[in-house]
Amino acid sequence: RCRLPGVGRVWCRRASRMEVKFIHREHFVEREYLRHGVVLQRGDTVFDVGANIGLFALFAFAECRGECRLFCLVPIAPIFWFLQKNAEEHGLSAAGVTLLNLGLTHLGGPERTPFTYFPRLSGNSTQRPSEKNRQTEALLRVFDEPRHALRLIGKTPLHRRPFLRAAYLAAYPLLPLLRRRFVGLSETRETIGRLTT
């Protein structure tokens, strides 16, 4: 488990703490999902499709002051386990939040489908692994090809370039270690998820 500001203890894999902290910041600090006039308030019904380990569910529940109908769907069983643990830890189960070990599909769609599960980066789990593979390959080029990394830095806003160059050069001796860690985080398993319409 890890402890998050304003949330408390959250169940997660030790290797995915970095991802959990990133998602926490996205929801609780930057409030990414409450842009463009979106508001959550008491009495709302919220569907958290692809709820992962439940951080958005905790955020929505808090925004609604504990008075909302909340449905959380996760089709991958190991991720669903963490969702259940976090719902129990924070009282969502007792408050009538509905947790479903299901994904959504179109009318007449399949009842089961393969998923690529990232045990250490569960937020990357997907039905479309080719997209994640392209992202992984692009990041590996940053580790493997300094010219490529510097070219990417050259495409960033002018005021950020000196900082990014300095950071990259400082990290350069550690790139083999960082690469191994990244490859370890990117390991996948194939699993079957249940779907509903």
**What residues does 45 pair with on adjacent strands?**
69
Any idea which of 98-102, 124-128, 158-162, 181-185 has the lowest mean pLDDT? 181-185
Helix then strand count (H, E) for the chain reads 7, 8
- Write down the pTM of the prediction: 0.81
Mean of the per-residue pLDDT values of the chain: 92
pLDDT of 34 over the 90 cut: yes
**Per-residue pLDDT at 132:** 87
122 near 16, Cβ under 8 Å? Answer: yes
pLDDT of 93 over the 90 cut: no
The DSSP letter of residue 133 is H
**What residues does 161 pair with on adjacent strands?**
none
**Per-residue pLDDT at 114:** 95
Any idea which of 70-84, 109-123, 138-152 has the lowest mean pLDDT? 138-152
pLDDT digits (tens, 9 = 90+) for 140-192: 888 888 888 889 899 999 999 999 999 988 988 999 998 888 888 888 999 99
**Per-residue pLDDT at 71:** 97
**Per-residue pLDDT at 182:** 85
Longest dimension (CA), the chain: 54
**Per-residue pLDDT at 101:** 97
- Give the helix ranges, DSSP H, for 48-190: 55-63, 77-89, 129-144, 146-154, 161-171, 175-185
